[in-house]
């Protein structure tokens, strides 16, 4: 028997083991999602969805003012910043990672106030410098 004939015969064979039907794969995904949800619930505190305010950059817990980001990793391997979760409208458990810069609404407002103050100081310094240059040019 030639090697080419053996390879062609192997390609024509149907697999002896069908991994799973689509229904079995879907059931496996659902079991894994349920196991993931149980792992998250056992490790973390739930934040009710009605207390969350969703924006482009973060999710704000309106009861505390803290900012969070969705965390997509394994809850068993997450860091100390991942301590909360919420249940989405379709029933999925979404873990939340605490934002660090800014970490809350008050910190964001303080950062914006400092930035505005620096901007005003720079504008005043530039205005003073222009006045000095005009006076020196005369």
The string of pLDDT tens digits covering residues 80-103 is: 788 888 888 888 888 888 888 888
For residue 94, cis peptide bond before it (omega within 30 degrees of 0) = no
Prediction pTM value: 0.59
Spatial separation of the C-alpha atoms in residues 119 and 88, rounded to whole Å: 41
| The pLDDT value given to residue 67 | 92
Asked which of 10-14, 50-54, 61-65 is least confident by mean pLDDT, the reply is 10-14
| The pLDDT value given to residue 32 | 84
CA distances from 35 to 23, 72, 77, 94, 135 (A): 18, 15, 15, 13, 75
């Amino acid at each position: 028997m030639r090697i080419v004939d053996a390879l062609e015969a192997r390609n024509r064979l149907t697999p002896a083991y069908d991994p799973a039907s689509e229904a079995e794969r879907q059931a496996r995904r659902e079991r894994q999602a349920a196991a993931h949800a149980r792992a998250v619930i056992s490790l973390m505190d739930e934040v009710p969805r009605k207390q969350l305010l969703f924006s482009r950059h973060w999710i704000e817990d309106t009861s505390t003012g803290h900012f969070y980001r969705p965390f997509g990793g394994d809850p068993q391997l997450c860091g100390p910043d991942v301590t909360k979760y919420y249940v989405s409208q379709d029933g999925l458990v979404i873990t939340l990672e605490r934002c660090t810069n800014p970490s809350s609404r008050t910190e964001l407002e303080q950062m914006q106030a400092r930035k505005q103050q620096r901007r005003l100081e720079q504008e005043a310094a530039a205005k003073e410098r222009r006045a000095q240059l005009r006076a020196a040019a005369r």
